[in-house]
Structures are given as C-alpha cells and as structure tokens.
Amino acid sequence: MASDLSYIRNIGIAAHIDAGKTTVTERILYYTGKNYKLGEVHEGTATMDFLQEEQERGITIQSAATTCPWTHKGKEYKINLIDTPGHVDFTIEVERSLRVLDGAVAVFDGKEGVEAQSETVWRQADRYNVPRMCLINKMDKLGANFAYSFDTIKKRLGANAIAMQIPWGEGDELQGIIDLLEMRAYHFDPDSMGAVVTEMDIPDELQESAAKWRHDLVEGAAALDDDLMEAYLEDEDSITQEMIRKAIRKGTIALECNPVFCGSALKNVGVQRLIDAVIDYLPSPQEVPEMKGTDPKDKTVAMTRPHDDTAPFSALVFKVVSDTHGDLTYMRIYSGKLVKGTRVINPGNNKREIASRIFEMHAKDRQALDEVGAGNIVAVVGIKNSITGDTLCDSDNPVILERMEFPEPVISMSIEPNTADDKRKLSEALVTIRREDPSFRSEYNDETGQTIIAGMGELHLEIIKNKIVRDMKVGVEVGRPRVSYREAINGSADGCRGLFKKQSGGRGQFGDCTVNIEPYTAEQAEADGLDFKDNVAFVNGIVGGSIPKEFIPSVETGVRNTAKGGVSAGFPLINIKVTLVDGKYHDVDSSQIAFEQAGRLALREAVSKAGSVLLEPIMKVVIVTPEDYLGNVTGDLSSRRGMILDTEDKGIIKEITADVPLSEMFGYTTDLRGMSQGRAANSMEFKEYRAMPRNLQEEVIESGA
C-alpha cells in the first residue's frame, strides 16, 4: 500500500441509529477484500460489532477501527475506516472519532431521511470542521423516497447537498443507480452479492428525471468554482466530467458542499461506487489544515504540526481498549514517524511512554508494524499513563494538541461489591472503564459507603453494569438509576466571610478569608480568559498581602472541593465565579489546612446569602408516532412536565420534538410502546440544565434524591 499521504483516507461512517452504518461498513470490508463472507447486524455476525453486548442488541456501542485497501483508477489507496455508534448514549464515541478523522460519510435512511440523531452527528462534525458526503441508504425499503430524503438534508441540516447519483427504481424495484456525472446506469447483480456491476445506458423512462438532476449537479458545481461558472454561463455542454469532479472535491474539502450518493448496503447496491467517491471527494491528510496545539510550558503560545513524516512526532490518543495482551491505545498520528520501541512523552502529565508494539487494526484482528508515519490511525501496546484526549509527542519537541470536550454525565446509580475480594476487583474494573470511556464517572461516597457510577443514559449505565458483572466477573448489587442534579445560585453576594479558628493547647489553627460570589457561564470565562474547571472560576483579588501567597491555593482548594460536594443539597454547585477579596492570617497558627477550611466556610456563607436553586437535566426528546396515537403521546408528555416544541407531519407519521426533565423519563421507551401498540419510537439526548419548580426541589432534597 502506498505510503504517500495523498493515497490515504481517514474516514468515519456516522448516522442515526438504524440507518445502516454498520451494514455499509461490512460491505466496504467485503468489497475491499478484508472479509470473505458478509456479516449481518441482524444475525449478530457483523465484524465491526464484535462485543457480545453489540451482537445481542444489534447496535454499535464502541467505535471500531479498521484499515482496508482499495484500487481506484489503477492506483492503490489505503482507507482507515471507523464505524461509530448511532445511539445517543454513546455520543462520546462519535465525538472522539470525528476528532481524528479527515472526512465522514453521513448515512441516512431512504425512507426517514434526516432523523434526530443525524442532526446531532452533523453538528458534531460541524464543530470539528469535518468534510462529509452523504449516502441515502436503504433505497430498497418499502416507502423509500430519494427526493424526500435529499430534501430533508437541505432543509433540516442546512447543507448544500448536491446529488451525484439517483436510484434506478425504489423499494422492491431497486435495480441499481444512475451516475449523474457520467450519465450512465449501473446494475448490481444480486446473484454475485453485487460484485458483478454492469454499466449501461440510462433506461428511457429515467432519461428526463436524470437530465433534470444532472442540470442541478452542474449548476451546484458551477457555484463552487469561478472558472466552471464562466464555462457554465457560456456553454453548459462544454463542461467535462473532470471539471465537475474537481469543483465538487474542492467544495467538499472547503465545507461548502456535501455530495449525495444512494444505494442499499443490505442489497449490495452502490457500495463500490461509494468507495470510489470517498477517494474522489474526501480529503487526504495533506488536504486538511495543520493540526493546532499549544506549547506545554505556556498554554497561551499557539503551535501547529504539519501532516508530514519529516516533522517532529505528534499523535492524539482517541481511544483506549483493555486487552488481554496489554491495553490497546488507538491514536491518530498527525506528524512525524513512530518506530516500534520508541520512547515518547505525554506533555499533559510529563510521563514518558514506550510504544512497544504497533498494530494496524482490522476490527478485532491486527497486523504488526515496525514503524508508521503521519496521517495513519494505529493501535499501540505499551502506553500506560495516557487516556483519551491526551497528546503523545517527541520529547525534544513537545506540543499539546487541541483536546476533546467531554459532556458531563446526567444519570447515576449506586453499585456495591458483595465481598471483600469483589471490592478490590471493582476498584480495578472502574479504573479500566474510566480509561476506556471518558463520559463515565465513578466516585466513592464516604458517608454511605457506596460507590456511585454516572453516565449518559440508562442504556449506557446498563451496559457498564453488564461489563462489570459479565466481562470482569465482579459480584455487585446495583441501585436504581437516579438523576444527576446540580446546584446554582440565584444572585450575587459580597463580603462573605469564612473564619476557621481552633485552639487546643499548643499550636492552633487560624484561617480567615472573605469572598464575593456571582453567577458565571463558560462563555464569560472564555471571554475573560479564566480557568472554568468543573464550571467554577476562582479569582485571586487580594492586594497588599492580607493573605500570604502560599495560602491562596488552599482557599481555592477549599472552595472547589466544597462546590464539587454541593452546599445546600449535596449536588455539585456550578456556574459560579468566586473572587477572594480579603482575609487575615496568624504568623504561627495559620496553615494550609486552616485556609482550606476557611475557603469552605466562606463559600457556604456566600451561597446562603446569594440563595440557591436546584437544576435538573432537560432532555431533547424526539418521538415518531402514527397519527392515531398522537393524542396519547402528547397528553403523556404533558403529564411528565414536558414542553412540546414542534409537531411535524411526515405523511401518516407525526414527529414530535419536546423538552422533558430526565427524572420523568425513566422507563419511557416501555411506556411509549404500551400506549402505541409498539408502533411509536423515540430518541433522547441531553440538552441543558434548567431550574426546577420550588415544590419539587424540596421533595428531591428531603428524599436525598
């Protein structure tokens, strides 16, 4: 396989749950020769869904990485492919995959078009500036409608979608695709699993429709390139295929357009043409901007790394998987080369690491490499102290690459080991899971003696529980899932004093500090250049040395630890700015511990003065239901304190979008099935924290939630 960067494509397949991402990936592996038989999601044999939990549920949980070869126009290319989950509880898997990809294929259901989770994935790709093309899949499905699905990409995503193909037949009558660039028809032979592709003239009955779509393609391409626009205005017929291809490639890489393809992965229609399109329209590592980062010694100094083998080595860890032969650390190499056995540094924690073995991955199989260059995605064994989002680099030329942002968990449950041996095994298991999954949190509660685990949704926690019990063989009892509330303040408060004074014979303890507190947001912190760790900003406003410098970090520690444990109701206090304005100290009795306690007391006093409010997680819920059950569904949402934002017609189906508190949504999927005779479906994602009604706050505080 060519080592030249222009022959590499790092792409991901991303979409709404059930749009057929994993089936598309399976077909790509089959046609590129990585698989000799086709795996099916519905049979639990998909190569990329190799976890037992994935095979049982028929969904993707972990993003899986694989490398496959593809010959296009006589040249050999290497495609590094990542299949990502569609379920919103595993949105972190999509997030971290998009962070290291150069391009993505967004897959849509040919009947449903753009669905709720498709919008989430699209926004994530926007955030990381990932060029993407679209595949309208499942064109063999009853009720599939290419024009409708294409329209939803334009309207709902605001994308500049340009159709490159249209289907030859829809539903049961799907035979192949019409290529609008070449104006040729392609038939995929079902007996050969689509491997025999026949090129032919466009059937007469599709000539008119193809001509119209072709005109739109030329017009869309012309808008992306000045030279092409000139040719288009003078003589549309003078425009060549190569001119259009070049304009669409340029527009896709510049995030100005999204070429749209179609087919049916399940029926083996259109997949080879899709792989060709990945080569034609998505960027190689050389065509994406240089990787941004900062100087580890001074975070304000910006640095970049070119996608080049000769530059100093830098890579980003995007996934850690526990493995019997040693943890596999997946990384994207941005610059330089990594040779087996090399020592590298993690500039975030200053730990040295050894890349003892390097593997090119194919789902759960692997091929050992002696060295690997820029632009590649590999798994490395031997990395001990690095987790997702960490940078690894050349120790003589350190850089910290842009980190990923991980969402806060919204749901938690208690978990208790059965025996002393289980207790030891549980603490090891939780460390392992935390390394693998950055959206997972766990902490030990000293007061109750319980371990609390937190995640992104009921399914997320259930899968973690199964992993602990089934895969890691730890005996545990689990409590019911509960909501992760937050505390905030109602207003500002100035001059709040914390005095810690203890005299017990001999040396005493003395710490005295005064703080101001005010509501504060992440946006304000970014504008003011303040550290907003755990949604708390701390500012040292001491002038004249009323508190010595060495005690100020202790005050901050006291403030931050108290905010983390909660002040009024035992939930983390967020979105505050605490300014230390005054204080007193004693030459003998003052200590770091005393000032930490003073900081704790000052924050408690400040929150009591400012007044506190309990915040609850609000979920964006999208429900698709037949019209017959619309009344039942909306009435039920209202009873759950839901606020209906939009109801949209989709033929005989209604799509309802609502904001609903998470506390009201436990077991909702089962209830929804019951009230719609199993015909309605829903998806749910975290939207924001919002203040709770006062009467409900009191209930939560009294029950200890």
What are the tokens at 197?
């592709």
Rg of the chain's alpha carbons, rounded to an integer? 28
Phi-psi region of 350 (alpha: psi -120 to 50; beta: other; left: phi over 0): left
Fill in the amino acid letter for 343.
R
**pTM, rounded to two decimals:** 0.71
Contacting residues for 93 by C-beta, under 8 A, at least 6 apart: 61, 62, 63, 84, 85
| Total count of residues recorded for the chain | 705
Residue range 280-302, pLDDT digits in tens:
999 999 898 888 888 888 877 88
Fold type of domain 487-610: Ribosomal Protein S5; domain 2 (3.30.230)
* Beta strand segments in 138-206, E: 161-163, 165-168, 176-179, 184-188, 197-200
- On whether the CB atoms of residues 188 and 174 are closer than 8 A, the answer is no
Contact between 314 and 305 (Cβ < 8 Å):
yes
Confidence band for 557, pLDDT divided at 50, 70 and 90: very high
Residue from 443, 447, 520 nearest 484 by CA: 443
- Reading phi first (left if > 0) and then psi (alpha if -120 to 50, else beta), residue 58 is in left
Paired tokens of 109: 């259901």
Structure tokens at 332: 């994207």
103 closest CA partner among 8, 200, 208: 8
pLDDT band for 271, please (50, 70, 90 cuts): very high
- Does the fold of domain 291-401 match that of domain 5-287? no
Number of CB atoms found within 10 A of residue 421's CB: 11
Intra-chain end-to-end CA distance of the chain, in Å: 57
Q: Strand 576-584 vs strand 536-540: parallel, antiparallel, or unpaired?
A: parallel
Pair of tokens at residue 389: 């989002």
pLDDT mean over 339-350: 92
| Residue-range domain boundaries for the chain | 5-287, 291-401, 411-484, 487-610, 615-703
**Which is the CATH superfamily of the domain at 5-287?**
P-loop containing nucleotide triphosphate hydrolases (3.40.50.300)
CB-CB neighbours of 616 under 10 Å: 24
579-638 per-position pLDDT tens digit: 999 999 998 889 999 999 999 999 999 999 999 999 999 988 888 888 889 999 999 999
pLDDT value at position 411? Answer: 83
* Burial (Cβ within 10 Å: 0-12, 13-18, ≥19) of residue 172: exposed
Q: Is the pLDDT of residue 2 over 70?
A: no
In this predicted model, what pLDDT tens digit does every residue of 645-655 receive, in sequence order?
999 887 678 88
d(CA 22, CA 82): 10
Q: Specify whether the CB–CB gap between 22 and 42 falls below 8 A.
A: no
Q: What is the mean pLDDT of residues 306-319?
A: 90
CATH of domain 291-401: 2.40.30.10
Q: Which residue has tokens 């100020």?
A: 552
Residue whose pair of structure tokens reads 């303890």 in the numeric block: 509
- Residue 637 CB-half CA count within 13 A: 23
Predicted local distance difference test score (pLDDT) of residue 37: 44
pLDDT number for residue 88 = 46
Query: How many Cα atoms sit within 13 Å of 650 on the Cβ side?
Result: 24
Two structure tokens written together for 454: 């937190």
- Average the pLDDT over 348-360 and give the result: 91
Between 117 and 67, the higher pLDDT residue: 67
Q: Are 61 and 72 in contact (CB under 8 A)?
A: no
Listed range (47-56, 250-259, 476-485, 551-560) with the worst mean pLDDT? 47-56
Q: What is the pLDDT of residue 388?
A: 80
CATH classification of 615-703, choosing from 3.40.190.10, 3.10.110.10, 3.30.70.240, 3.40.50.12780?
3.30.70.240
Provide the 8-state DSSP code for 284: P
Residue bearing the bigger pLDDT, 39 or 103: 103
Alpha carbon of residue 148 to chain centroid: 28
CATH number for the domain running over 411-484: 3.30.70.870
